[in-house]
Structure 1
Amino acid sequence: MQLFLLHFAGGSCYSYEFLRKSIPDNFDFLQLELPGRGKRYKDAFLMNRSDAVKDYVSQIKEKRTSASYVLYGHSMGAYLAYFVAKEMERIGDPPVKLVLSGNSGPNVIEYDEEGNIVKKPKRYLMNDEEFKEELKELGGVNEEIFTNKELFDFFTPILRADFEVVEKDESNLEAQNERVNIPIHVLMGDEEEYVDYIDNWKRYTFSYFESQILKGNHFFIYEYPEKIAEVIKSAKVYY
Structure 2
Amino acid sequence: MKKTDKSQLFVLHFAGGNIYSLRFISAFLTDFEVIPLELPGRGKRMTAPLLHDFEEAADDIYRQIITQRNHMPFMIFGHSLGAYLALAAAQRLEQQQQPPACIFTSGNAGPGIRSTHNWHQLNDQDFIEKLTTLGGLPPEFLDSPELLEFYLPIIRADFKLAEKSSFASHRINIPIYAMMGSKEKTMGEIGNWQQFTNALFRYSLFEGGHFFIDEHAEKIAAIIRTFYHSISSTVKEKLS
CA distance in 2, matches of 1:62, 1:212: 31
Q: Is the 8 A contact 1:99 1:231 kept in 2?
A: no
Tell whether 2:171 aligns with 1:179: yes
CA distance in 2, matches of 1:216, 1:147: 25
Aligned residue for 1:214?
206
Matched residue type, 2:130: E
Aligned residue for 2:33?
28
SS of equivalent residue, structure 1 residue 166: helix
Tell whether 2:103 aligns with 1:107: no
Aligned residue for 2:63?
58
Quote how far apart the aligned CAs of 1:160 are. Answer: 0.5
CA distance in 2, matches of 1:23, 1:126: 39
Q: Is the 8 A contact 2:117 2:163 kept in 1?
A: no
CA distance in 2, matches of 1:149, 1:50: 32
Count matched residues: 225
SS of equivalent residue, structure 1 residue 178: coil
Q: Is the 8 A contact 1:138 1:218 kept in 2?
A: yes
CA distance in 1, matches of 2:117, 2:32: 40
Quote how far apart the aligned CAs of 1:168 are. Answer: 2.4
**1:194-205 paired onto structure 2 within 5 Å:** 194-205=186-197
Matched residue type, 1:62: T
Deviations 1:189-222 (A, max 9, x none): 0111211110000101111111111110100001
Runs of 4+ in 1 over 4 A off after TM superposition: none
Give the CA RMSD over aligned residues.
1.3
Instruction: Give the gaps of 5 or more residues in structure 2.
Output: 1-6, 233-240
TM, length-normalised to structure 1: 0.91
Q: Is the 8 A contact 1:4 1:60 kept in 2?
A: yes
Quote how far apart the aligned CAs of 1:22 are. Answer: 0.7
Q: Is the 8 A contact 1:189 1:213 kept in 2?
A: yes
Tell whether 2:157 aligns with 1:152: no
CA distance in 2, matches of 1:166, 1:218: 15
CA distance in 2, matches of 1:134, 1:158: 15
Q: Is the 8 A contact 2:116 2:163 kept in 1?
A: no
Deviations 1:169-192 (A, max 9, x none): 446x6xxx4211111111100111
| 2:14 equivalent among 8, 13, 16 | 8
| 2:229 equivalent among 215, 220, 236 | 236
Aligned residue for 1:116?
none
Aligned sequence identity (%): 40
Q: Is the 8 A contact 2:119 2:127 kept in 1?
A: yes
Instruction: Give the gaps of 5 or more residues in structure 1.
Output: 110-118
SS of equivalent residue, structure 1 residue 21: helix
Aligned residue for 1:164?
160
CA distance in 1, matches of 2:189, 2:78: 18
